Amino acid sequence: MIELPFALSEYRARLQAIRAEMARRNLDLLVVNDVANQHYITGYDGWSFYTPQVVLVPLVDEEPVWIGRAMDAAGGLLTAWMKPENIVGFPEDHVQRADRHPMDWIAAWISRKGWGGGNIGIELEAYYYSPKAHARLTAGLPNATFHDADLLVNWIRSVKSPAEVDYLRKASRLAEAAVRAAYDAIAPGVRECDAIARIQAAQVAGAPDFAGDITALPPTILAGENASAPHVMWSDRRFGENETVALELAGVVRRYTAGLARTLQLGRMPAKVSDTSRAVLEGMEAVLASIRPGVTAEAVEASWRRVIERHGLKKESRIGYSIGVAYPPDWGEHTISLRPGDTTVLKPGNVLHSILGMWMDGWGIEVSETILVTETGCETLTSFPRDIHVKA
Amino acid sequence: MIELPFALSEYRARLQAIRAEMARRNLDLLVVNDVANQHYITGYDGWSFYTPQVVLVPLVDEEPVWIGRAMDAAGGLLTAWMKPENIVGFPEDHVQRADRHPMDWIAAWISRKGWGGGNIGIELEAYYYSPKAHARLTAGLPNATFHDADLLVNWIRSVKSPAEVDYLRKASRLAEAAVRAAYDAIAPGVRECDAIARIQAAQVAGAPDFAGDITALPPTILAGENASAPHVMWSDRRFGENETVALELAGVVRRYTAGLARTLQLGRMPAKVSDTSRAVLEGMEAVLASIRPGVTAEAVEASWRRVIERHGLKKESRIGYSIGVAYPPDWGEHTISLRPGDTTVLKPGNVLHSILGMWMDGWGIEVSETILVTETGCETLTSFPRDIHVKA
């Protein structure tokens, strides 16, 4: 058994919160397809979600059940807290075949267990849960009524416990180490791929007393002609003499992710970069001054918008989101977004990654912080000089 | 514009093959949800698939269209070969909201384009395409008839061109470098995470004349108590004195993936490990002797099975699959599987990752090769001593 990241009491509290919401919605069973939610509930951890994988949470007081590929049940026994009988493998002869589907088998298992009727809540927009899987599951459970339960667990995840915040603090240390590694590695003539190798090494090797995990998004380096395109990947391109390099990095410990974006200027800082950076840094101050319990997500965004409008700038996309447990392809929790129209009222224990990215024509700046909402205001978990780092 | 991995003529040939199959199935439009297929058709490359993203291929002779998040259209202009008007961004205010969905917008776009009627083929089991996305798309296109087109493009991908094989040869060099890095780094007392950092650095930094890309599955190291669980991730566990360490690694160049698994023995090799390895290595010889055009996938597996049965061993799962372009979470192409019941007849240009993994109780061995089917037989693209590497 690999050591669980949390005490069993913490998993029980999570289940209790999930069941309270299930009861409120009159759900008898929750089918959890989101890999991060599966981990949050069970501790299960493995790179096995390329075949169908579900966690079942009954409203009744029984253990959740993990079902995945037979080969990966061994990993379930090592990583999840439930009894062995609640780690279930579908047969290997159901993997990626045209004539049968793992969800046929899983539906039959649910029926045999006596959970195939009543109201079933299910996550309909989880990564790795396909329309075909859903069609086969619902066809196999004709006596159930299905209800969209997207984000039910995610909203519970949006308030972090002290133990979760501890992991996010550790993750922040690794995010800082990743930015330091980038500042060290990036120089004119160096290839992007060589810089990424050093950044990832810092992320993964971790600290002397804990490991780093894979980041849900790979390191992003935006420079040169790619600078205006926020999610283009690295190549063997070499950094130029006077490039502005935007870095969107993270640190991850036991799947808990802290994001940290910074900008590096090689050579001399052009006036437009320094002008924009002043606006962005002032905007971050406004964001941090506005975050406290009772404030809405959109009010935080408005505080940023007021600053950059004064500087004559505009940004269409949101400036932050809830962050926590994360598996590829995304480290956002898909709940709170710092943008107009999001009237979520912030609570102590929320953790937000506020990322102020200005992607201009041919260059860009990014600055972010991972921010804990405290009882009285907020605290930046990431701690790293915020100014654009000039490397002459 | 980032340099395309292939000549435009190669993209035209791909489109021609896809359209021939569309015509055979009487499809007017193909909605491509699989990220690897999107890249194969358009060259588009970015870590943007955490929001909905499609490629549309009309049967009529017009360019395909990429549609994704507005922010990522800039990346489309840099990486895809189509005209700018065929790189389309859905508005930022559709990202991850309860009251609207990108697929509503995409359905409306398809209708405006005049592609909203007739027979639409769609990939229903692509990663990152959700039941909710599909429900919104079909609701938005009431005049279309939808047909499952899973694997239509994947089967075309299963025969590689010489230019694709060139990338797979380069990728094989990086896979070999990754195994060498693992052999160097792993020793008793070393933490798994520190070994992974060195392995990933070798994968990503690449060669002097080309970069490495992210691998679709992260490096897998199975040792100690994890050895029986094929997809458990690394931690800060330290390697023990006499552990058998199974490594499942890859190299990736311009998204083309070569897999390479090897096994490292720290200290003395136990008799059971050396007995099993003899069977596995003999099994690999049998696999390689059997692969040639005209042979079925299941016949290749049978040749392996005969060998290990003679050694008193058994393996439930398949022993290989088609490999090529890959994005997380999987590098298999989901077409050819080396297992009983797969009657696919092998053709020149097929590339198979044959992985012989024996996960026993508390220890495991893995050996693999990435294998090109040639006109007369096969060639292992990966080239690395196959024996268990003993590090005393």
Segment A185-222, tens digit of pLDDT: 999 999 999 999 999 999 999 999 999 999 999 999 99
User: What is the CA A75 to chain-centroid distance, rounded?
Assistant: 22
Which phi and psi angles does B87 have, rounded to 5°? Answer: -115, 110
Residues in chain B closer than 8 A to A47 (CB atoms): 217-218, 220, 231, 233, 329
How many CB contacts within 8 angstroms connect chain A with chain B? Answer: 236
| pLDDT per position as a tens digit, A366-385 | 999 999 999 999 999 999 99
User: What is the CA B39 to chain-centroid distance, rounded?
Assistant: 12
* Sequence-distant (≥ 6) Cβ neighbours of residue B245 within 8 angstroms: B182, B186, B221, B222, B223, B227, B239, B263, B264, B265, B266
* Sequence-distant (≥ 6) Cβ neighbours of residue B61 within 8 angstroms: none
Quickly list H helices, chain B: 8-24, 35-42, 70-79, 102-113, 131-140, 152-157, 162-185, 192-205, 271-290, 297-310
b/e string for A90-103 if b means 16 or more Cβ within 10 A? beebbbbeeeebbb
| Nearest Cα residue to A18 out of A157, A148, A122, A161 | A157
* Sequence-distant (≥ 6) Cβ neighbours of residue B124 within 8 angstroms: A130, A131, A132, A135, B134, B148, B149, B150
Q: What's the pLDDT at A303?
A: 97
Residue spans per domain, chain A = 8-156, 162-391
Distance from CA of A43 to the nearest CA of B (A): 12
Q: What's the pLDDT at A392?
A: 87
Residues 271-290 of A with CB under 8 A from B: none
- Establish if A193 touches chain B: CB-CB under 8 angstroms: yes
| pLDDT per position as a tens digit, A170-183 | 999 999 999 999 99
The verdict on a CB contact (< 8 Å) between A197 and B194 is: no
Compute the distance between CA of residue B322 and CA of residue B300 in angstroms, rounded to an integer: 13
| pLDDT per position as a tens digit, A125-169 | 999 999 999 999 999 999 999 999 999 999 999 999 999 999 999
CATH of domain B162-391: 3.90.230.10
Residues in chain B closer than 8 A to A359 (CB atoms): 71, 74
Signed CA dihedral, B84, B85, B86, B88: sign only: positive
Which residue do the tokens 């959890």 mark? A32
Signed CA dihedral, B182, B187, B193, B194: sign only: negative
- Establish if A231 touches chain B: CB-CB under 8 angstroms: yes
Average pLDDT, chain B: 96
Residues in chain B closer than 8 A to A225 (CB atoms): 1-2, 78
Signed CA dihedral, A94, A45, A257, A160: sign only: positive
| pLDDT per position as a tens digit, A71-127 | 999 999 999 999 999 999 999 999 988 889 999 999 999 999 999 999 999 999 999
| pLDDT per position as a tens digit, A321-375 | 999 999 999 999 999 999 999 999 999 999 999 999 888 877 889 999 999 999 9
pLDDT at residue A15 tops 90: yes
Q: What's the pLDDT at B224?
A: 82
Query: Running DSSP on this structure, what letter comes out for residue A306?
Result: H
| pLDDT per position as a tens digit, A121-135 | 999 999 999 999 999
Q: What's the pLDDT at B230?
A: 84
Q: What's the pLDDT at A190?
A: 98
Residues in chain B closer than 8 A to A248 (CB atoms): none
> Helix or strand or coil: residue B207?
strand
* Sequence-distant (≥ 6) Cβ neighbours of residue B279 within 8 angstroms: B307, B308, B310, B311, B313, B358
Compute the distance between CA of residue B287 and CA of residue B376 in angstroms, rounded to an integer: 15
The count of C-alpha atoms lying within 13 angstroms of the C-alpha of A286, restricted to the half-sphere facing its C-beta, is 20
- State the average pLDDT over residues A16-36: 98
Compute the distance between CA of residue A110 and CA of residue A101 in angstroms, rounded to an integer: 15
Compute the distance between CA of residue A108 and CA of residue A86 in angstroms, rounded to an integer: 15
Residues in chain B closer than 8 A to A236 (CB atoms): 206, 209-211
* Sequence-distant (≥ 6) Cβ neighbours of residue B312 within 8 angstroms: none
| Nearest Cα residue to A194 out of A181, A179, A213 | A181
What are the counts of helices (DSSP H) followed by strands (DSSP E) for chain B?
10, 15
Contact A137, A115 (CB under 8 A): no
CATH fold of B8-157, please?
Creatine Amidinohydrolase; Chain A, domain 1 (3.40.350)
Residues 73-102 of A with CB under 8 A from B: 74-75, 77-79, 92-93, 95-97
Q: What's the pLDDT at A228?
A: 79
Q: A180 — alpha (psi -120 to 50), left (phi > 0) or beta?
A: alpha
Extract the runs of DSSP E, i.e. beta strands, from A210-363. 220-222, 244-253, 256-266, 320-327, 330-337, 351-359
The verdict on a CB contact (< 8 Å) between B194 and A205 is: yes
Radius of gyration (Cα) for chain B, nearest Å? 22
Query: Running DSSP on this structure, what letter comes out for residue B216?
Result: S
- Establish if B20 touches chain A: CB-CB under 8 angstroms: no
- Establish if B207 touches chain A: CB-CB under 8 angstroms: no
CATH of domain A8-156: 3.40.350.10
Element (H, E) at A29: strand A29-32
Low-confidence ranges of chain B (pLDDT < 70): none
| Nearest Cα residue to B36 out of B106, B127, B107, B166 | B127
The verdict on a CB contact (< 8 Å) between A220 and B124 is: no
Residues in chain B closer than 8 A to A235 (CB atoms): 2, 211
- State the average pLDDT over residues A30-46: 98
Q: What's the pLDDT at B35?
A: 98
Q: What's the pLDDT at B91?
A: 94
The count of C-alpha atoms lying within 13 angstroms of the C-alpha of A195, restricted to the half-sphere facing its C-beta, is 29
Compute the distance between CA of residue A102 and CA of residue A71 in angstroms, rounded to an integer: 13
Q: What's the pLDDT at B363?
A: 86
Which phi and psi angles does A272 have, rounded to 5°? Answer: -65, -35
> Helix or strand or coil: residue B85?
helix
Signed CA dihedral, A216, A218, A222, A228: sign only: negative
